[in-house]
Structure 1
Amino acid sequence: MPDKDPNLCQEKAFSSFYTEHLQAASNFAFYKCGDSASALDLVQEAFSKLWENCASVDVLKAKTYLFTSINNLFLNTIRHHKVVMNYAKERPYLDRDNQDPEYLLREEEFKSQLLKAIDELSDAQKEVFLLNRIEGKKYREIAELLDVSQKTVEKHMSAALKTLRTKFGNI
């Protein structure tokens, strides 16, 4: 190739860069988010962003740009998730104004007691419980994320549920 530093805007150069860095980028994204579908979305978005900005990205810094983009996209996803969760906490029901005030009061009291009970769980139990029941992750995913065995996750979840059932009855 006569040009030492090919331009990423050239389809052949970009394709070569893509092939060379796809697996590492996918592994990095999976490490960040722990979900292969989300990781694939992050990688695709980052490569798309690199392609859109290929003229302004130095080919020698393209790998750094790619991984920084993946990291920033992941952080943006987390920020967005926090906003959605905060909104859901503040307005869990759109028609709450039409509900019985006594029911709303009991619901708030129960929610407060439940949050307190969850907070009193051990750190490991709390983390496993929240990842499973709030974020919807499977035991296998939690085990990979926390770098423990699936049996350990099951043990923590069982202990957390036992503690909560003792306080609240059958959940």
Structure 2
Amino acid sequence: MEYIAELASGCLQTFQTVYRLYNQKLYAYTLKKTNSEYMAEEVVQLTFIRLWEKRNSLSAEYSISAQIFKMAGTILIDQLRKEAVSQRHLSVVETAQNQPEEQQLDIDLLEAAIEQIAPVRKKVFKLSKLEGYSYKEIAELLSISPKTVENHMSKALKQLRAAFSSIISLAIIMSAIIDR
């Protein structure tokens, strides 16, 4: 279809033309969906970066407009999910700062237990649980298979459960000693 062959061949002029044609439309679409100028600008920028990076895999079966808006939709979902994860973590941090000392100790213990996880496993765990990446995205980021990501997560969670199991057992013993 129009523009696709030229984009695939790396024609910068065609890319600039496509950018001029769809930049404002994409911005308006995203702004309407998010009510956030920042998010709309971010999605537009990331969409055109992805368009350039994926120019060789564009399909001649679909219009350039359909493909751009599909990319934008995917990027928008990713950005909203990351924003939601970020807000959740901010909420947890704010809540933790306002918690009694005992609950802060639990958070500190969790952070210490996470730090004891092997480096790659810890990175996989943080990307998944703290940053909200999917196993597939983590696999791509770290150049490993999704199954390897799954194995790392399984072992990380098992290690954390074991750490908390021993902490809880210790707390029960300490409580029994104090109550005597």
TM-score (norm. length: structure 1): 0.48
